[in-house]
Amino acid sequence: MNGSVFGAVHLGYVVIETNRFADWRRFGTDAIGMHHDDLDTGLMRFRLDDQECRFLLRRGPAEDVVATGWHLDDHTTFERIEARVRAHGVPVVEGTAEEAKARGVERLLRFPGPKGITQEIYTTPLTSPEPLRMLASGWVTGDSGMGHVAITSARPTLMRGYFTTVFDARLTDYIDETISGVRLKIRFLRVDERHHSVAIAAVRGLPIDPVRTRVQHLNIQAASLDDVARSYQRVHELGFEMALAVGQHTNDKELSYYARTPSGFEWEVGWNPIVVDETTWEPRTHRGISVWGHTPVGQGIVDKLEQFRLAARSLAHPEKTVPALSGGGTPDD
């Protein structure tokens, strides 16, 4: 089936595998301020709005994101994406009724994604009549989806090619940054009006990945600046590690901070990013991640050495790609 699916795709939910349920409950509910539901001893969910599930946590050893769920506007979009994936010879599997129920959707299909993160698609999320019980006043979801996923990659053009092939993702912009002497290039991809739903960070000139987890961070957008400030304070008071202090990004202008989750990857709480106007937007390169702030918190020489160790280790473990859906990759503009 021909036709672009851009604008009809939105980040809908994220699946995290962890054995640290007690820590995650405190982090998500008491620190970040989301609504929490226990399903059984092996499943836990967080809500941001009336949808039953935005984050599904299941018991397991990965301590990482294992799947991302994409909410599609209609069955035509669903069928187009399914047809694309199948046409490239990539296996598509229908989720079981139990899996769909846990994710709060009527039906889902899944297929392989970059870095071993399974990609799942659905059209009909289930909503809950139960009022939200959370410390935050609200979160921004709606037509923009629920935030974004940031991934480090040793094969960034292949990863960009994947999201272009499957979801017709568009390049929003780039950031060039040097951190601790390491030169990074970050590619920001959008699938709807949100500035980006996927960010791909890569070390320039070296095929290495300095991050242990499949994702570097997850982002959710707070409804108010007060929510950002209050959750920042709670993260500190409850003893969770802060990765980056409050700051403002150069490209999307989002004001945010980054906390470290119980599983090790980072969690960004942001406010007021710009919305892309498709009629006027032109990609550009920004120098540096932040206009101000976002200073590292508590990072010492041991942390830096660990990053170099992980980077060296990644050379011996080739990154998982999906060649059939990545093509030759999408080169930088």
DSSP code, position 328: T
pLDDT confidence of residue 302:
41
Q: How far apart are CA 280 and CA 273, in angstroms?
A: 17
Q: What is the per-residue pLDDT across 231-258, written as a single tens digit (0 to 9) for each? A: 999 999 999 999 999 999 999 999 999 9
Q: What is the per-residue pLDDT across 21-80, written as a single tens digit (0 to 9) for each? A: 999 999 999 999 999 999 988 999 999 999 999 999 999 999 999 999 999 999 999 999
CB 202 within 8 A of CB 159: no
Q: pLDDT tens digits for the chain (333 residues)?
A: 579 999 999 999 999 999 999 999 999 999 999 999 999 889 999 999 999 999 999 999 999 999 999 999 999 999 999 999 999 999 999 999 999 999 999 999 999 999 999 999 999 999 999 999 999 999 999 999 999 999 999 999 999 999 999 999 999 999 999 876 778 999 999 999 999 999 999 988 878 888 889 999 999 999 999 999 999 999 999 999 999 999 999 999 999 999 999 999 999 999 999 999 999 999 999 999 999 999 998 754 445 445 545 545 645 578 999 999 998 899 998
Predicted TM-score (pTM) of the model is: 0.95
Q: How far apart are CA 301 and CA 299, in angstroms?
A: 7
* Closest residue by Cα to residue 6 from 271, 190, 279: 190
Q: How far apart are CA 293 and CA 221, in angstroms?
A: 18
pLDDT confidence of residue 20:
98
Q: How far apart are CA 284 and CA 281, in angstroms?
A: 9
Tokens for 109, please give them: 């299909």
pLDDT confidence of residue 205:
81
